[in-house]
Copies of this chain bind each other. A is one copy, B any other.
Amino acid sequence: VHALSHDAAVRLIEPGRYTADLSDRFNLPSGNVNGGYGLAVCVRALAAELDHPDPLVVSATYLRQLRSGPVEVETERLRGGRRLSVGEARISQGGSEALRVVATFADLSSASGRTEVVGSPPDLPPPQDCLDLAAGLELPDDSIMARTQVRFPTAPGWFSGAPTGVAAAQFWMRLADDEPVDTLALPSMVDLAIPVVFELGEFATTTVELTVHVRARPAPGWLACRVKTDYLIGGYHEEDFEIWDSTGKLVAQSRQLQLLVG
């Protein structure tokens, strides 16, 4: 059973109301669950509610931390249409809303307009020639670290205790157990990786808002990722993330605003 699709599943209570059980398999070191996991639950509730299959734009505003355990998700349909449908999901735990998501869904298989691409995929050696930071480690099952496979071309500075001071990285990523990544999983992928501000020696940062654009359905296999933070100002910073699939297509682009804590 694949962790993300299994643990992010929602059950319909009545139209516009769902429940889910957050597992401990996406736990952060703090004991809270990863924000991308909470987002995955909301995206699945919206997919059940809306008319189109692919989340085209997802905007998530983080209000409170989520812990493993039962949650409730309320959804609201805001617009239906031939091309796009829009909805909002609100996930609550213990009666308090923790995360609000507004998303526009589309059918990316029928996006037939013009294409002009300026950027190019990360220039990475094949995954088998890259470094597995987790090699030889016994990762506990109740850790976010065990939910992805990651391959770096060279070891990040922070990994050997010497952050480079440059908050930029390129690497391969996929879900654990080769779980396929579909467009419902993509918005979470951008938040499952290690924050790139680790390279600034900053190891605690919290997300205020995350917006993900899903641009295409990913082909199977490893995903090439490019991440950077250019502007840390007064403790607030953006993190920009691109995901390219194994055929060299851009499949997701995201930006989040985060705040250094502690």
Contact = CB atoms under 8 A, between A and B. Distances in A.
A132 interface: no
A116 B232 contact: yes
A112 to B, nearest CB: 6
A115 B233 contact: yes
Interface size grouping (class) on chain A: 35 or more
A113 B206 CA distance: 14
Contacts of A88: 100
A203 interface: no
B111 A231 contact: no
> How many monomers of this chain does the complex have?
2
A78 B230 CA distance: 30
A208 B88 CA distance: 14
B208 A104 contact: yes
Contacts of A113: 232, 234-236, 259-260
Q: Which of A56, A78, A211, A229 has most chain B Cβ within 10 Å?
A: A211
Interface in A178-232: 200, 202, 208-209, 211, 213, 215-216, 228-232
A96 B34 CA distance: 36
Interface in A146-182: 167
A124 interface: no
Nearest to A76: B100
A167 B116 CA distance: 10
A112 B232 CA distance: 11
Interface stretch (A5-13, A19-27, A44-52, A59-67): A59-67
A250 interface: yes
A56 B100 contact: no
Q: Which of A56, A79, A108, A234 has most chain B Cβ within 10 Å?
A: A234
A197 B109 CA distance: 23
15 contacts: A56-B257, A57-B257, A59-B59, A61-B78, A61-B102, A111-B235, A113-B235, A116-B167, A117-B230, A118-B231, A211-B211, A213-B257, A216-B234, A231-B250, A238-B253
